[in-house]
């Protein structure tokens, strides 16, 4: 994969090094060139000094070829702007943003941003999300992840019970139009529904087709 990491702090440098060790092509962007000293000796990617939401810097980083994008600076506004530029202007499918202040969580959700809260943030969680590209992360409870995602046409006409997986994937709420409700097992799903669900990692491969790409 071609991955761009914005922010070379403790988490960004660790994430970039992990991706590099796995053989991915990684470009790290940071406004402070001194930050690149945090990168591990195993990192063999590219570093660029600049702002992660600057279109010229992103083009220099090769964003037109990027498969994934992670904005993990210590500033929520920077992360939000960078992720939005990556998604909306350059059409990067898998953009993940770091969130520090929970007050901004609703903004991230309304924008449909995939994010990781500071309270649960570790580089490994970001790595897993970049590699899988699934859903919008809300939080982790042990080995269970709570996610929010928009449904694909593959759910049309299916009942909740048709897609749930015992002890591995369970729907908690559905948002449809202006209403949100707790579904029954026989609730009929529609493409475009926004679902909040709990899931275990091993179930993602079974339900990815129900998530809008």
pLDDT tens for the chain, residues 1 to 213: 899 999 998 888 988 988 898 889 999 999 999 999 999 788 999 999 999 999 999 999 999 999 999 999 989 899 999 999 999 999 998 888 888 776 677 777 777 777 776 544 445 556 666 665 555 656 666 678 888 788 989 999 999 999 999 999 999 999 888 788 999 999 999 998 988 899 887 888 888 889 875
Note the pLDDT of residue 121. Answer: 45
Q: Phi and psi at residue 174, in whole multiples of 5°?
A: -130, 135
Note the pLDDT of residue 120. Answer: 46
Q: What is the pTM of this model?
A: 0.61
Instruction: Report if residue 35 sits inside a domain.
Output: yes
Note the pLDDT of residue 131. Answer: 60
CATH number of the domain encompassing residue 165: 3.30.70.1450
Instruction: Indicate whether 126 and 101 sit together in one domain.
Output: yes
Note the pLDDT of residue 153. Answer: 93
Give the domain range for residue 166: 145-210
Instruction: Indicate whether 20 and 123 sit together in one domain.
Output: yes
Q: H or E element: which one contains 76?
A: helix 76-84
Query: Beta-strand (E) ranges in the chain?
Result: 2-6, 25-30, 46-49, 68-71, 94-99, 114-117, 136-141, 144-150, 169-176, 179-181, 194-200
Instruction: Indicate whether 128 and 150 sit together in one domain.
Output: no
Return the residue matching tokens 């579904």.
183
Instruction: Indicate whether 34 and 80 sit together in one domain.
Output: yes
CATH number of the domain encompassing residue 30: 3.40.50.720
Domain count, the chain: 2
CA-based nearest residue to 210, from 173, 166, 132, 158: 158
Cα(183)–Cα(159) distance, integer angstroms: 10
Note the pLDDT of residue 40. Answer: 74
Instruction: Indicate whether 129 and 106 sit together in one domain.
Output: yes
- Say which residues have a Cβ less than 8 Å from residue 102's Cβ, sequence separation at least 6: 117, 119
The two structure tokens encoding residue 13: 């440098």
Note the pLDDT of residue 138. Answer: 62
Note the pLDDT of residue 42. Answer: 83
Cα(122)–Cα(13) distance, integer angstroms: 12
The answer to whether the CB of 94 falls within 8 A of the CB of 63 is no
């Amino acid at each position: 994969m071609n991955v761009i990491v914005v922010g070379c702090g403790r988490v960004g440098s660790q994430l970039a090094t992990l991706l590099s060790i796995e053989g991915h092509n990684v470009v790290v962007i940071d406004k402070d060139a001194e930050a690149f000293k945090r990168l591990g000796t195993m990192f063999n990617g590219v570093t660029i000094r600049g702002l992660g939401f600057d279109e010229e810097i992103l083009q220099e980083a090769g964003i037109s070829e990027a498969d994934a994008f992670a904005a993990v600076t210590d500033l929520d506004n920077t992360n939000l702007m960078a992720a939005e530029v990556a998604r909306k202007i350059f059409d990067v499918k898998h953009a993940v943003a770091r969130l520090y202040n929970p007050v901004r969580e609703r903004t991230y959700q309304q924008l449909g941003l995939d994010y990781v809260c500071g309270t649960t943030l570790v580089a490994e969680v970001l790595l897993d999300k970049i590699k899988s590209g699934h859903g919008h992360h809300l939080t982790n409870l042990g080995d269970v992840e709570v996610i929010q995602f928009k449904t694909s046409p593959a759910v049309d006409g299916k009942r909740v019970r048709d897609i749930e997986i015992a002890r591995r994937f369970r729907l908690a709420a559905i948002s449809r139009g202006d209403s949100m409700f707790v579904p029954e097992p026989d609730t009929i799903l529609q493409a475009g529904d926004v679902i909040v669900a709990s899931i275990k990692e091993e179930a993602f491969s079974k339900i990815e087709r129900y998530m809008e790409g």
